[in-house]
Structure 1
């Protein structure tokens, strides 16, 4: 089977799981975006996904994503990995959205980076949608914002000239029941929607737990292996 045909079959299988779960939950068809995660996979795979109608992919590593974005400028690349503040300027040049903001320092660095990129003509999109990565267990080693700091960080993002608070991103802590994690994260999201008086996105669910995430309100699922197969580790 040719690679494009393989990717098409895999995309259709994942989409079928999403559609079936939405139907089971009585949620509208099309209310969940499938974001293929292309970390460690070659740019040729992303071009094939683009041929199949995929408009956005997720990447974890800044240097790798930047190179791919330069090669495929008409594809949207979402940053979903942990961010170092020294990399924020570069991320602001290529990212269509960032799912992993976890501190005011990172938010401020991204805001400055977008302004600089616009000034230099490296970026055309004036506003960078940003998700707060939620830390349900408060463990800083895996990234994420503690529960008691989420609202303040959301306000910092939303008040920034070049950022927009888009919603939450959640990865269940190691050893946690996924249902419990997504339930808690959705509760935090609902509180933020009340605070900001608007609907927000919920980036939650990967290959192994997307069904549970959708049942708890996910609007974006990030799927890598189930679509692209095993990664050749760098």
Structure 2
């Protein structure tokens, strides 16, 4: 035990989550490391990110701006030289694209031409200002049920949106797809369908190999169906704080 109980708590939970991922990879006959663990830190303080980076975590998911930008800035100040990436995984308003483009490795929730254009403009500005050194990664959010309240686009609309991203080569980078399983129905069936859509998408865009799917409750099923990135919050961070930072 250390003199930091929260660090000990996070260390145990992170180890358990890594073991779950490793077991799921083995059960699916996949290579170790083929499914990466992203720690979803939304609503939790920057101090927790500092602890997690110290424990070897290097991929994080955030969903609220400007909270996320402030947290990234604090971690970089507290841990100069630390190597870690943060993705925007939540619904993003176009007016916040400018700030997100300064700190995000990628945006996992792109679901409209308008947001694509806003991100392209913001990423170009950030590149010109030296606030980023590489194109902004983009995952197109796939909607499996067509529910506009949850965001995403249906499969039929993916080609046009992918073309829009590709038109901004050097500024935006098409990395693949993200999916949130619908609230109703069997998660296994939804994740299997997402894998089928992703396979068809990769056939047209071989460089867009990412499939971000699966969370704390269903990461094993997601890995069985080809997820390359599982987004795990509660199983590592614990229950959401009553008040957010």
Secondary structure at the counterpart of residue 28 of structure 1: coil
The Cα of 1:201 is off from its aligned counterpart by 0.7
CA distance in 1: counterparts of 2:218 and 2:27, whole angstroms: 16
Correspondence for 1:79 among 82, 88, 92: 88
Secondary structure at the counterpart of residue 133 of structure 1: strand
Secondary structure at the counterpart of residue 230 of structure 1: coil
Partner of 1:178: 187
Does the alignment pair 1:26 with 2:29? Answer: yes
Contact 2:38 2:229 in 1 (8 A): yes
The Cα of 1:54 is off from its aligned counterpart by 1.0
The Cα of 1:77 is off from its aligned counterpart by 1.3
Q: Work out the number of aligned pairs and report it.
A: 233
Render the CA deviation track for 1:66-105: whole Å, top value 9, x for unaligned. 1011112343211000011111111111111111101111
Output aligned runs, 1:45-60, within 5 Å. 45-60=48-63
Secondary structure at the counterpart of residue 105 of structure 2: strand
- Farther-moved stretch of structure 1 (195-204 vs 177-186): 195-204
Does the alignment pair 1:200 with 2:209? Answer: yes
CA RMSD of aligned residues (A): 1.3
CA distance in 2: counterparts of 1:138 and 1:125, whole angstroms: 35
Partner of 1:169: 178
The Cα of 1:139 is off from its aligned counterpart by 0.9
CA distance in 1: counterparts of 2:206 and 2:106, whole angstroms: 21
Partner of 1:68: 71
Correspondence for 2:165 among 134, 157, 160: 157
Runs (4 or more) in structure 1 with deviation over 3 Å come to none
Change (3 A) 1:207 1:49: same
The Cα of 1:199 is off from its aligned counterpart by 5.5
Contact 1:133 1:170 in 2 (8 A): yes
Q: Which runs of 5+ in 2 are unaligned?
A: 77-81
TM-score between the two structures when normalised by the length of structure 1: 0.96
Contact 2:210 2:228 in 1 (8 A): yes
Q: Which runs of 5+ in 1 are unaligned?
A: none
- Farther-moved stretch of structure 1 (218-227 vs 63-72): 63-72
Does the alignment pair 1:136 with 2:144? Answer: yes
Partner of 1:214: 223
The Cα of 1:197 is off from its aligned counterpart by 3.2
